[in-house]
Structure 1
Amino acid sequence: MSKVITKDNEQILQIYNRLKETLMRLESILKDNTPTLNGHRYMNDSELANYLKVSRRTLQEYRNNGILPYYQIGGKILYRESDIEELLEKNRQEAFQ
């Protein structure tokens, strides 16, 4: 006698839950993914402020004081990720031993 598989079957529920978890992971990856332009990634004010744990106003001060390189297209400010990484590396301080 053959067995009818329904949506309440334990194996079907496990498969459904695994697919749901996979979809959530993919959505998270896509949300955090920044597309590249000529091999460079760019961040906006909000993304960089969150990354550096500073306010957007602080970023504006850094721009005004020539500390932070940026691109301005119309009213939109963009920061090249590699420029930020280079700036952070240049300003890195060794810990005291």
Structure 2
Amino acid sequence: MELNIITKEDLQEFKIELLAEIKDLFNNKAKDTRSWLRSSEVRELLKISPGTLQNLRINGTLSYTRVGGTLYYKYEDIETVLNNKI
């Protein structure tokens, strides 16, 4: 019987690879599910208040489209804000 020794570095590398794969799966699933989100969904996703969302619109950080009385935001734009950590 062959004995394989796993080091802390092996586990750390596995952890990094696993987290990257999970993140990719989540991002791909989210993109496939919805490409446009309403204000309430954006606030929940970014964990921000209505006023902060308004400021992001006003200063041009987050673009939006108005359809009737409802504001919609592209998921790609929200990802950019998340990656830049507002």
TM-score (norm 1): 0.48
How far apart in 1 are the matches of 2:35 and 2:62?
16
Structure showing greater relative contact order (alpha-carbon pairs closer than 8 Å, 6 or more residues apart): 2
How far apart in 2 are the matches of 1:63 and 1:76?
14
Higher Rg of the two aligned structures? 1
The answer to whether the 8 A contact 2:57-2:64 is kept is yes
Structure 1 unmatched runs, 5+: 1-32, 93-97
| Cα deviation code 1:31-77 (max 9, x no counterpart) | xx8x86xxx61111111101111011210111011111111112210
How far apart in 2 are the matches of 1:61 and 1:87?
13
Aligned to 1:77: 71
Structure 2 unmatched runs, 5+: 1-29
How far apart in 2 are the matches of 1:68 and 1:75?
18
* SS, match of residue 79 in structure 1: strand
The answer to whether the 8 A contact 2:35-2:76 is kept is yes
Give aligned pairs, total: 56
Instruction: Please tell me the root mean square deviation across aligned C-alpha atoms, in Å.
Output: 2.5
More helix by percentage:
2
